[in-house]
Amino acid sequence: MKLCHRRQFLHLAAGAVALPALPRIARAQAYPMRPVRIIVGFPPGGVADILARLVGQRLSERLGQPFIIENRPGASGNIGTEAVVRAAPDGHTFLLAGANDAISASLYEKLNFNFIRDIAPVASLVKVPLVMEVNPSIPVKSVPEFVSYAKANPGKINMASAGNGTSPHVAGELFKMMTGVNMVHVPYRGAAPAITDLIGGQVQVMFDIISSSIEHIRAGRLRALAVTSATPSEALPEIPTVGNFVPGYEAGGWFGLGAPKSTPTEIVERVNNEIVAALADPKIKTRLADLGGIALPGLPADFSKLIADETEKWAKVVKFADIKPV
């Protein structure tokens, strides 16, 4: 083959290889073409809803289309998740996914979807550690003292939670599993009534989102024993972690953005890039800290691993505690 012909051939071959990428690039550049929905499986006003609105506002500013928050509460978030599973995979519907989805995978025997199979991970957003707190009337000031007290009073410690199968519930069950203490679970319809009864002394201990309890802790109405994250919380820097006394213990909530499976990769990557940039913004970091959260930037693959690990972890706890949906 003559040199000029060879060069022409190689040029055409390279162009042919690049052609399939052109529609993907064009699609990513044109996205989004209309308003985008972020579905939240919980009512307005909670941490999930506030976080979705924070992220939605940022994406609206960056991508030039409204990102509309749509609340679909019910069944521990499963109603919202199923709505996204059934949505068109075109990048115009997202799910504010959370720890509830990993827990529900083993808590509910008959879901109409498989979260890991049917939701494409887009971006992790934040980890939300909990605080292990007690009514001040309980004569303990540390996790080891609590374990000793609970073992000396088996079945007499009532553990409140925001509801059956919630992150606070399974965090407490994980603590029971790893320490061997016997606590009676008392589920409430949300964190607020549970905290009210904890302050009133009707229940003795609770694992709760830091932002919900921090003012009560500062006022002395509740006593913080430890935080459930792997490292101390900026919101309660003087409080140790549960893992300091129970090696390997870590629990809490987390949130991220998911999409229907088969959503185009280039759209997933574009939204992921915008979220990673947003999580690096000091203003966003401060707002997340106000919610008791820790920014969790990463690639879709990182979020996929988090979901898989959390699903496996909580399946063991659900089985150990024989947790059933109500």
Identify the domain boundary among 196, 225, 244: 244
pTM for the structure as a whole:
0.87
Examine the domain organization and report whether 122 and 264 are in the same domain.
Answer: yes
**Residue stretches of the chain with pLDDT short of 70:** 1-28
Identify the domain boundary among 226, 244, 262: 244
Contact 204, 191 (CB under 8 A): no
Peptide bond connecting 168 to the previous residue in cis, omega within 30 degrees of 0: no
Within a domain: 57: yes
Which helix H or strand E contains 320, and what residues bound it? helix 300-321
- Strand ranges for the chain from DSSP E: 36-40, 67-71, 93-98, 119-128, 130-134, 157-161, 183-187, 205-209, 223-227, 253-260, 294-295
d(CA 11, CA 278): 40
Give the total residue count for the chain: 326
CA 249 to chain centre: 17
Within a domain: 174: yes
* Residue ranges making up the domain that contains 167: 130-244
Which helix H or strand E contains 251, and what residues bound it? none
The residue written with tokens 């802790």 in the block is: 217
What CATH number is given to the structural domain containing 160? 3.40.190.10
Examine the domain organization and report whether 309 and 291 are in the same domain.
Answer: yes
Phi-psi region of 252 (alpha: psi -120 to 50; beta: other; left: phi over 0): left
Contact 127, 69 (CB under 8 A): no
What CATH number is given to the structural domain containing 57? 3.40.190.150
Per the structure, the count of domains in the chain is: 2
Examine the domain organization and report whether 47 and 184 are in the same domain.
Answer: no
Identify the domain boundary among 244, 275, 302: 244
Question: Is the dihedral angle over the CA atoms 193, 51, 206, 41 positive or is it negative?
Answer: positive
- Mean pLDDT rounded to a whole number for the chain: 92
Q: What's residue 10's pLDDT?
A: 59
CA 72 to chain centre: 17
Q: What's residue 234's pLDDT?
A: 87
Q: Report the DSSP pairing between strands 223-227 and 130-134.
A: antiparallel
234 class by beta-carbon count within 10 Å (0-12 exposed, 13-18 middle, 19+ buried) = exposed
Examine the domain organization and report whether 201 and 141 are in the same domain.
Answer: yes
d(CA 228, CA 66): 36
Using only C-alpha atoms, the chain has a radius of gyration, in whole angstroms, of 23
